[in-house]
């Protein structure tokens, strides 16, 4: 349970967890109770309305488990080959516990047969929703800072003069051209 109450999920993340729950219920997966609690306790917000300090899917987060040193991971939907140690799938109890937390929030991480540990979300280093919003804001701000042409190098260019000193002319031979000679 989170120290600050309900977790915050985007509508997209909530839908992904609902599908994950339905698929895993049929297999009697051990993560089903945690998924049910997460969905029941969630406060759902639109993608554009999520606070930049909330851990959403594909967010890069800095967190601590118990007294261990802080770790940085990207919350991903499922295990991806080739990204060992970089991603933390929300299909794992730890990934699911971090999803929806806000910066500074603490949650008790419970696993079967292991003493509960405290998880602290220190910082959301990157959140795709916040990055998307900033891309839409920057172009508007950049319009007031357009580049101004101060010198055009093309204006200084002059065609070269004929190396023989006179004006360049195209020479035509009288009559038809025979074409290349046969050697």
| pLDDT tens per residue across span 30-64 | 889 999 999 999 999 998 889 999 999 999 999 99
- For residue 176, name the pLDDT band (cuts at 50, 70, 90): low
Domain ranges (residues) in the chain: 8-135
Q: Which residues, in sequence order, are CB contacts of 81 under 8 Å at separation 6+?
A: none
pTM for the model stands at: 0.70
Q: What is the reported pLDDT for 171?
A: 62
**Which one, of 88, 108, 103, 106, lies nearest residue 37 by Cα?**
108
**Distance between CA 126 and CA 162 in Å, rounded?**
62
**Distance between CA 97 and CA 144 in Å, rounded?**
44
Q: What is the reported pLDDT for 173?
A: 61
Identify the residue with better confidence: 109 or 61: 61
For 78-92, what is the mean pLDDT?
80
Give CA angle at 106 (102, 107), nearest 5°.
105
Q: Are 15 and 57 in contact (CB under 8 A)?
A: no
CATH no. of 8-135? 3.10.50.30
């Amino acid at each position: 349970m989170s120290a600050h109450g309900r977790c915050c999920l985007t509508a997209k993340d909530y839908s992904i967890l609902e599908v994950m729950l339905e698929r895993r219920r049929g297999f009697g997966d051990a993560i089903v109770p945690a998924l049910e609690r997460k969905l029941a306790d969630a406060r759902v917000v639109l993608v554009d309305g999520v606070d930049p300090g909330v851990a959403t899917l594909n967010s890069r987060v800095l967190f601590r488990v118990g007294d261990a040193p802080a770790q940085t991971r990207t919350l991903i939907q499922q295990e991806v080959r080739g990204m060992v140690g970089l991603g933390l799938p929300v299909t794992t109890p730890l990934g699911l516990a971090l999803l929806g937390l806000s910066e500074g929030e603490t949650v008790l991480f419970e696993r079967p047969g292991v003493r509960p540990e405290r998880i602290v979300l220190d910082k959301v280093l990157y959140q795709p929703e916040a990055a998307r919003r900033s891309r839409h804001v920057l172009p508007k701000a950049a319009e007031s800072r357009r580049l101004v042409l101060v010198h055009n190098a093309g204006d200084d260019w002059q065609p070269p003069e004929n190396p023989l000193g006179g004006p360049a002319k195209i020479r035509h031979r009288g009559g038809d051209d025979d074409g290349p000679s046969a050697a």
